[in-house]
């Protein structure tokens, strides 16, 4: 038996997070592309020769 998690929470009430319905199958990959410019380059296992 699970109780409601907070005031106004219910199984048949209105969902309070409309952004949830804005996502689709490709949303994850779109976020990956957007964030790729902020990631550090992956280190190489090749030895550096000077």
For the chain, the structural domain boundaries read: 11-40
Q: What is the pLDDT of residues 34-47, one digit of tens each?
A: 999 999 988 888 88
Q: How far apart are the first and last CA of the chain?
A: 67
Whole-number Å distance between alpha carbons of 15 and 8 = 10
* Residue 13 near residue 19 (C-beta atoms within 8 A): no
- The pLDDT value recorded for residue 4 is 53
Q: Calculate the dihedral angle through the C-alpha atoms of 16, 21, 26, 31, rounding to the nearest 10 degrees.
A: -30
- Residue 50: the pLDDT is 60
Give dist(CA 46, CA 3) in Å, integer: 56
pLDDT, one tens digit per residue, over 1-31 is: 556 566 777 778 777 777 777 888 898 999 9
């Amino acid at each position: 038996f699970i109780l409601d998690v907070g005031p106004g929470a219910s199984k048949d009430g209105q969902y309070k997070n409309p952004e949830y319905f804005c996502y689709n199958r490709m949303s994850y990959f779109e976020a990956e592309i957007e964030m790729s410019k902020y990631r550090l380059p992956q280190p190489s296992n090749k030895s550096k020769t000077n």
